[in-house]
Amino acid sequence: MTENRIDLATPHKIHLVGVGGAGISAIGIILATMGHEVSGVDLNETPAWSSLMAAGVKVAVADSGDLFGGSDATNAEVVAHSTAFIPTDRQRANLENQGVQVLNRAEILALICAQKRTIAVSGTHGKTSTTAMLATLLEGVGAQPSFLVGALPLGLGRAASWGGSGPFVVEADESDGSFLSLGADVAIVNNIDADHMDYWQSMERLEAAFDQFVADAHEAVVCIDDTKRDAVAEERALRVARKHGALSVGESQEARLRVHNVAVNRLETTFGLSFDGTEIGPVKVATPGRHNARNAAVAIAVAIESGISPSDAVGAIAAYRGSSRRFEVVGEFNGATVVDDYAHNPGKVRSVLSAAKEAGWDRVVVLFQPHRYSRTKNQAREFGEALALADVVGVSEIYAAGEAPIEGVSAEMLIAATLDERPSAIAEWLPTLDDAENWIRSQARPGDLVLTVGAGDIWRVGRSIVDSPDA
């Protein structure tokens, strides 16, 4: 962290590099709402542009060499940057020599968190949905939350909000350890699964980080379920919950807030919920999957810990309508329902496909785009186990996300892993997005669920077939 921290309680001139990205754009909207003079640059205009300008953020497109050197940057008191754009040593020195503080995304977010009671939602997967559910719940009971969600909650209509008298609900990113810098008052852990192991190197280090995250907070809620097995506690999450006296949530017998009788019907999930043996359900959310039952239960747990009555919390969460790119219904094609999802690690993919299989469609057809060469290399077997849950599997080429290719690593590894898991599976490698779109058009049947899954640009395929069904 930067030593001479500014206090965001008073107005400052703040410049954001990478302002078009989901994380930094939401921060920009919050900073502008707080009363700061905010500017920002990115390499291209993005869908966030209109929301940024509506909030009063001055935005511009810049060449890569000018991102840290424009007039807005040099006139600012603070320059904050996304993880996609890191200043060189020379760029940093130039700014600091002019008295400008240079902060990364986690550091500027920590300064925002310092202004309110902060509820930070962490975990290997489920952060966005749980954050959106909790913000929806708190707004529904009149708690006036501020929030920052990594996707657009469809019922709230905005991904970032600031100014209410209630707490600040925020996603806490574990991928690079930055969640440890937020100073959360309430720590939420959805799960502790393997991901971003290029950073963490071992599950022991990852568990230790979540342990520290919970230890540093005043209160904690931990979902203790093993995401690979129904109604069984995962040892790492259970260890962290017990060590720090966190409120435990899940289907397993050890959970204080216990989920049971989960039923998924197409795009809706219902489940029973008991707290210390007393029934407080049933609960209904308009998004499918056992994982979303857990996410909703975690949001309810936080609300109860915050003094909201169980009945009010259960009633308010029924207003949740999902989030963009989280099992988002795109439309229909040839009688099939087309859904898009951001899932990009094995746990997320497994959750999405498990939900799809439970929900009652005739067949589940998945088109998956691997995200990063390193993740594909390190977790090919786990991806194969997850993808084998679908009836028909297509895998497009890897979305690099800025990584250089790794020799011998390709999307075909996931096809091989899928067939190893289920030799009878229908699985095909699709080198380009055009190939992927043609494949979907040939595969989709009435009554199917067609899923486009991945953190890159695979979403374009589903929208293309829905928007141009006769192409």
Q: Above 60 in pLDDT, residue 2? A: no
pLDDT at site 336 = 94
Average pLDDT estimate for 31-38: 96
H or E element at residue 260: strand 257-265
Higher pLDDT: 359 or 458? It is 458
Query: How many Å is the Cα radius of gyration of the chain?
Result: 22
Q: Above 90 in pLDDT, residue 65? A: no
Q: Bridge partners of 221?
A: 188, 247
In the chain, the percentage of residues whose pLDDT exceeds 70 is 98
Higher pLDDT: 321 or 454? It is 454
* Residue ranges in 118-259 assigned as alpha helix (H): 127-140, 197-200, 203-215, 235-244
Of 114-118, 177-181, 440-444, where does mean pLDDT reach its minimum?
177-181
Q: Strand locations in 83-202, DSSP E?
A: 101-104, 118-122, 146-148, 160-161, 168-171, 186-189
Place 1 in a pLDDT band, splitting at 50, 70 and 90: very low
d(Cα 241, Cα 150) in Å, to the nearest integer? 25
Peptide bond into 282 cis (omega under 30): yes
Fold classified for 328-467: Protein-Tyrosine Phosphatase; Chain A (3.90.190)
For 321, the token pair is 């309508």
pLDDT at site 70 = 82
For 375, the token pair is 């993740």
Average pLDDT estimate for 47-58: 92
Q: Above 90 in pLDDT, residue 356? A: no
Average pLDDT estimate for 448-468: 93
Tell the residue number behind the tokens 């080429």, with chain if given: 397
Q: Bridge partners of 188?
A: 121, 221
d(Cα 18, Cα 35) in Å, to the nearest integer? 20
Query: Mean pLDDT over all residues of the chain?
Result: 91
pLDDT at site 145 = 96
CA angle 366/343/228 to nearest 5° reads: 90
Contact 250, 229 (CB under 8 A): no
CA angle 175/436/49 to nearest 5° reads: 55
**Does this chain's domain 116-317 share its CATH topology with 328-467?**
no
Q: Above 80 in pLDDT, residue 227? A: no
CATH fit for domain 13-105, picks 3.40.50.720, 3.30.300.30, 3.40.630.30, 3.40.47.10: 3.40.50.720
d(Cα 162, Cα 175) in Å, to the nearest integer? 25
Global pTM? 0.79
Contact 116, 183 (CB under 8 A): no
* DSSP three-state, residue 451: strand
Q: Above 80 in pLDDT, residue 200? A: no
Average pLDDT estimate for 294-320: 95
Integer CA distances (angstroms), 244 to 130, 249, 303, 370, 459, in order: 21, 14, 19, 36, 40
> Domain limits of the chain?
13-105, 116-317, 328-467
Helices (H) and strands (E) in the chain, counts: 16, 22
d(Cα 339, Cα 238) in Å, to the nearest integer? 33
Contact 223, 294 (CB under 8 A): yes
Fold classified for 116-317: UDP-N-acetylmuramoyl-L-alanine:D-glutamate ligase (3.40.1190)
pLDDT in tens, 387-431: 999 999 999 999 998 789 999 999 999 999 999 999 998 999 999
pLDDT at site 83 = 84
d(Cα 267, Cα 378) in Å, to the nearest integer? 32
Number of C-alpha atoms within 13 angstroms, CB side, residue 207? Answer: 13
